[in-house]
Structure 1
Amino acid sequence: MQEDFLHYVWQHQYFDKIDLRTTDGQLVTVLKPGYRNADAGPDFLTARLQLDDVEWNGAVEIHLKASDWHRHQHQTDPKYDQVVLHVVLEADQPVQRLDGSIVPALALASRIAPDLLRAYHNLLEEPTSALPCAPQLQMVPEITRTSMVERALLERVELKASVVSDLHQRLTNDWEATAYHTLATAFGFQKNSEPLARLAKALPLAVIRRHRHDLLQLEALVFGQAGFLEEAGASVEDEYTAALRREFNFLRHKYSLHGTALAAHEWNFLRLRPANFPTVRLAQLAAVLHVRPALFDAMLTAADLPTLTKFFQVPTSTYWREHYRPGVAGKVPGFGKSSIHLLITNVVVPLRVAYARHTGQAELVESAVALLSLLPAEHNHITDDYAALGFQHRSSADSQGLLALHRAYCTPRRCLHCAVGSRIMQRNLVTR
């Protein structure tokens, strides 16, 4: 059993309250269970309880065993002096506050309905690969499922926006630099996001701005700092690669870029189709930086989806339409719509939400999230599993919501925090 289960039981008061008493015999009346504390300190704050004839206002701490109080060192933490009731499954020992006073304990092991415990264990022990509650989904109304996916979507968008906000703060509140770093990272498309994020640090926007008008120089900076020009040797040497190397050797001296470049071996090519090679993505990023001088303003103000799509539909240089790596020839397809849709999802929407939060424009949050409903649904084994179980999957908004539900709730078995899991628990509850 996880401690979350006791949190759930206490929050909803799903236990037998007839002749409810502490371990030392005090009669307990719960006037208000308190609210969940997401920060450090006791689990529930501003609770109102009556012990015998005395009313107490304070905090409630939850543990599976009372001895966990000492294991977590709460007896030395003044934040826990406000605890007026210690709710536990098993009261294996008395516990004290910082001043040595005993904290009243309430043991719930014999007061939780067996059907509720059974429903909880069924959720946590279900081996299905999609989601724990799959065998019991038929008892959950569609509106509950839909609203939970929407909630998970908003949480996912907010999480991505908070990453952008943190980046914005680190970049001294420069939105253009924030857009550049966010865009560069997203061009890694998961497999190469980490090295592309480091490349953005190794190649400052100020340097790019000075050379964005010259695509050869811009590509020299991008591929040179990425380490691919050092990789190119005599066996793969061609005229264009040689020109890139000459430009980069001059520019890295000019801007003191020595020691900041990545190495070619830090990029991932394994199990990627050539069209997704990091070298191809770098060429596409360079093309966008060359043609679009104001990244943030354009992504913020684009009025509709076609305008945003056009923003990313920039042709690469002739060389990179015919080469996958320096000196390695091959016909390279153009930037696909699916890739553009991912950039809108992972760059434009989080940027807009972060900016909206920063400036207090709530309406911009709604319009940013609404963009996702205009994009086609993403298809992978996760979203397909949920669609097969009856979840709606019509747009990218649904896809993002399902991915968030899977990663934040189903995989870690956080069923009691999910509206679907909570509804199943309620249906299995035997009122006592």
Structure 2
Amino acid sequence: MKEDFLHYVWQHQYFDKLDLRTTAGEEIQVLRPGHRNADAGPDFLNARLRLGEVEWNGAVEIHLRASDWARHHHQIDPKYDQVILHVVGSADADVTRTNGSLIPALALQARVAPELLARYQALVEAPAAAPLPCAPLLPLVPEITKTMMTERALLERVERKADAIMTLHEGLGQDWEATAYHALMAAFGFQKNSEPLARLAKSVPVAVLRRHRHDQRQLEALLFGQAGFLVENEETVADDYIRDLRQEHAFLSHKYGLGEAALHAHEWNYLRLRPANFPPVRLGQLAGLLHARPALFDALLTAQSVAALTEFFQAPVPLYWRTHFRPGRPGKVPALGKSSTDLLITNVVVPLRVAYARHVGQPAVVESSVALLSQLPAEHNQYTDAYEALGFAHRTAADSQGLLALHKNYCAPRRCLHCAIGSRLVHQPRVIR
């Protein structure tokens, strides 16, 4: 048994309440179990209990063993002085508040039905290689439960991404245009080069970018120079275009004091990347986008459809970067692909719009932004394909994002009791064999 199982049992009151008493013999009546506390402090807040003849309002703390109270140093933490009941698996010790007063305890181990515990253990002890622990039991789960859980996981995933956008926004002085710029720069790295592109955004401050984005040559000099791509080597020594950008970058770098923030060519990742995904190719696409779309945030916020957003991302790439995979190395470079555009909409546009909508209090914009995912095709990878094979709906990017969140936040860490699917299976009246 794990502590999260006791949390589940207490929250849903799945235990025998016949002649319910504390370990000291005092009668207990649970009027309200309280709500889960996501922050520091007791596990459940705003509980309401009747102990003997007295009604109490306060918190409930849960441990496998009562002695865990002292092990976690709750007896010296004032946050736990509001606890009115200590719910435990086994009561192996008495516990007190900071003032020394005794806290009543309720031992649940003997009150939990063995079959309930067996169903829980069947899930959490499933082999690690299983795509999801409840796979053999999914026929017992109604489709509506799977759909609702996938949708819930999707919204949680979008909210987490929106939280990251808000953190970025706060760090940039609450400048939404700067936020859109930094978020797009990092996203254009498509994981392999997200980190160096995020640092490149910092090395070319948005204030400097705004002064020079109208001049394509200066914009390229800033971006490629700060990225460390304009160094002279055997491939670029005879390249007049790169030489001209290098000279322009030297001037701008000195003017704005950008030298120390510049990256080096060795900091970029090329391993296992197709040439179309090389960092200079992506940076060329960004240069074209930043030059052609001077109001990034406004355009991303007001676009009404995936088609409009797709057109937004198809900005003309500077001629040199249509014909060079790397500085001094010619080749025909394809335009930004549809799948890449879909990922940018999923990972930047939707979270950015949700973050802004929450900030200004526009829930309708949150809904319309998340709805964009339903206009995008499903993403296929080892995780989404495994869920699809098990009968989960997988038609759009909204489904994909929900399934990825379900895997990462519930199935992989075996948080079955926090999942509507696992919770239903644990409470199934049919015994798992």
Q: Same fold (TM over 0.5)?
A: yes
Aligned to 2:308: 307
Aligned to 1:291: 292
Q: Secondary structure at the match of 2:217?
A: helix
The answer as to whether partners of 1:116 and 1:429 remain within 8 angstroms in 2 is no
Q: Secondary structure at the match of 1:88?
A: strand
1:55 aligned onto 2:58: no
Mapping for residues 27-426 of structure 1, pairs under 5 Å: 27-127=27-127, 128-230=129-231, 232-237=232-237, 238-426=239-427
1:19 aligned onto 2:19: yes
Deviations along 1:59-85, one digit per CA (max 9) or x if unpaired, are: 110011111111111111111111111
Kindly provide the amino acid, as one letter, of the partner of residue 155 in structure 1. E
Kindly provide the amino acid, as one letter, of the partner of residue 419 in structure 2. C
The answer as to whether partners of 2:235 and 2:327 remain within 8 angstroms in 1 is no
1:111: Cα distance to partner?
Answer: 1.4
Counterpart-to-counterpart distance in 2, 1:303 and 1:16:
54
Q: For structure 1, which segment, 29-38 or 133-142, has the greater mean C-alpha deviation from structure 2 after superposition?
A: 29-38
Kindly provide the amino acid, as one letter, of the partner of residue 174 in structure 2. N
Counterpart-to-counterpart distance in 2, 1:135 and 1:168:
44
Counterpart-to-counterpart distance in 2, 1:297 and 1:262:
29
1:428: Cα distance to partner?
Answer: 4.2
The answer as to whether partners of 2:292 and 2:316 remain within 8 angstroms in 1 is no
The answer as to whether partners of 1:291 and 1:314 remain within 8 angstroms in 2 is yes
1:201: Cα distance to partner?
Answer: 0.9
Kindly provide the amino acid, as one letter, of the partner of residue 28 in structure 1. I
Q: In percent, how many aligned pairs have the same letter?
A: 69
The answer as to whether partners of 2:287 and 2:318 remain within 8 angstroms in 1 is no
The answer as to whether partners of 1:113 and 1:429 remain within 8 angstroms in 2 is no
1:235: Cα distance to partner?
Answer: 4.2
Point out where structure 1 has 5 or more consecutive residues left out of the alignment.
Answer: none
Deviations along 1:128-182, one digit per CA (max 9) or x if unpaired, are: 4321111111100001100111111111111111111121122112111111111
Kindly provide the amino acid, as one letter, of the partner of residue 314 in structure 1. A
Aligned to 2:6: 6
Counterpart-to-counterpart distance in 1, 2:311 and 2:381:
26
Deviations along 1:310-341, one digit per CA (max 9) or x if unpaired, are: 10012322221222111222221111011011
Counterpart-to-counterpart distance in 2, 1:104 and 1:297:
58
Counterpart-to-counterpart distance in 2, 1:279 and 1:141:
49
Counterpart-to-counterpart distance in 2, 1:172 and 1:326:
35
Q: Scaled by the length of structure 1, what TM-score is found?
A: 0.96
Closer, same or farther: CA 2–264 of 1 in aligned 2, 3 Å: farther
Q: For structure 1, which segment, 40-49 or 288-297, has the greater mean C-alpha deviation from structure 2 after superposition?
A: 40-49
Deviations along 1:6-45, one digit per CA (max 9) or x if unpaired, are: 1100001111112222222222221211111111111111
Q: Secondary structure at the match of 1:31?
A: strand
Q: Secondary structure at the match of 2:15?
A: coil
Kindly provide the amino acid, as one letter, of the partner of residue 294 in structure 1. A
1:414: Cα distance to partner?
Answer: 1.1
Closer, same or farther: CA 429–100 of 1 in aligned 2, 3 Å: farther
Counterpart-to-counterpart distance in 1, 2:279 and 2:121:
45
The answer as to whether partners of 1:268 and 1:278 remain within 8 angstroms in 2 is yes
Q: Secondary structure at the match of 1:59?
A: strand
Q: Secondary structure at the match of 1:229?
A: coil
Counterpart-to-counterpart distance in 1, 2:385 and 2:427:
28
1:191: Cα distance to partner?
Answer: 1.3
Q: Matched residue pairs, number?
A: 429
Counterpart-to-counterpart distance in 2, 1:207 and 1:31:
61
The 4+ residue runs of structure 1 with deviation greater than 4 A are none
Counterpart-to-counterpart distance in 2, 1:363 and 1:318:
41
The answer as to whether partners of 2:306 and 2:375 remain within 8 angstroms in 1 is yes
Deviations along 1:90-138, one digit per CA (max 9) or x if unpaired, are: 2121111101111111111111111111111111111243211111111
Q: Secondary structure at the match of 2:409?
A: helix
Kindly provide the amino acid, as one letter, of the partner of residue 44 in structure 2. F
Q: Secondary structure at the match of 2:84?
A: strand
The answer as to whether partners of 1:119 and 1:428 remain within 8 angstroms in 2 is no
Q: Secondary structure at the match of 2:50?
A: strand
Q: Scaled by the length of structure 2, what TM-score is found?
A: 0.96
Q: Secondary structure at the match of 1:87?
A: strand
1:429: Cα distance to partner?
Answer: 7.0
Structure 1 vs Structure 2 CA RMSD? 1.4
1:344: Cα distance to partner?
Answer: 0.9
Closer, same or farther: CA 428–324 of 1 in aligned 2, 3 Å: farther
Counterpart-to-counterpart distance in 1, 2:388 and 2:240:
51
Kindly provide the amino acid, as one letter, of the partner of residue 91 in structure 2. A
Closer, same or farther: CA 2–266 of 1 in aligned 2, 3 Å: farther
